[in-house]
Amino acid sequence: MEGHQLQHQAACMRKALFDQGYLDDQFLQLEDLEDEANPNFVEEVVKLYYSDSARFIRNIELTLDKNPFDFEKLDDIMHQFKGSSSSIGAKKLKTECTQFQEYCKIGNFEGCMRTFQEVKQEHAVLKKKLESYFQVFLLVHVYNCVYVCVDVHFVTN
């Protein structure tokens, strides 16, 4: 049955995100904050995160370009970016951010550049994975709604 297949797909995607280390316990904490009145809280937070975090990426890029040895500033921006990433449970991304900050501490520009590419990549990969995941979740929800409506129709007629 399609509904079950969708649900199974959603469950598999979710498991993979955790097993492969993309997400950590904080994502579960956010899920616990959802209820009937706020069923899409996690998706809202993730959307907010991606629209907000773009500026951190931009600012780091600008700083690496214009003031490449301002490690304090780079560390500062990354600290904020890492904080937000941590708030949505982005485990792998958090690790890359920490690595970047380590290079800032020792003033290693090459290290910063290299790690920053990793950060950008992780940021983009996670975005795609979460988008797909929420899409499947939405399909499951829609399917369940339709299924219930159809069911009710048959019961009442």
Partner 1 sequence: MEEMRSDCSSSGVQELHVLAVDDSLVDRKVIERLLKISCCKVTAVESGRRALQYLGLDGERSSVGFDELKVNLIMTDYSMPGMTGYELLKKIKGSSKLREIPVVVMSSENVLARIDRCLEEGAEEFLVKPVKLSDVERLRDFILKGEEKSEREFSHKRKMSDDSCTLTPSSMASSPSSSDSDLPLSPMSIVSDEPRPKRARLLDDN
Nearer to partner 1, 80 or 109 (CB): 80
Instruction: State yes or no: residue 83 binds partner 1 (CB under 8 A).
Output: yes
Q: Check binding of 98 to partner 1 (CB under 8 A).
A: no
According to the binding rule CB under 8 A, does residue 149 interact with partner 1? no
Asked whether position 72 contacts partner 1 by CB under 8 A, the answer is no
Three-state DSSP state, 23: strand
66-99 residues labelled b (16+ CB within 10 A) or e (exposed): eeeeebeebbebbeebbebbeebbbbbbbbbbeb
Vertex 89 angle, CA 16 and 123, to 5°: 80
- Shortest Cβ distance from residue 88 to partner 1 (Å)? 7
- Token representation of residue 130: 């979460």
Instruction: Return the half-sphere exposure (C-beta side, CA atoms, 13 A cut-off) of residue 23.
Output: 21
77 binds partner 1 (CB under 8 A): no
How far does CA 30 lie from the centroid of its chain?
12
Question: Which part of the chain contacts partner 1 (CB under 8 A), choosing from 2-10, 31-39, 103-111, 122-130?
Answer: 31-39
- Exactly one of 29, 67, 117, 135 binds partner 1 (CB under 8 A); that residue is 29
Q: Segment near partner 1 (CB under 8 A), from 28-36, 123-131, 140-148, 149-157?
A: 28-36
Q: Rounded to whole angstroms, how far apart are CA atoms 68 and 53?
A: 20
**What is the contact surface with partner 1 in residues (CB under 8 A)?**
26, 29-36, 38, 41, 44-45, 48-49, 52, 79-80, 82-84, 86-88
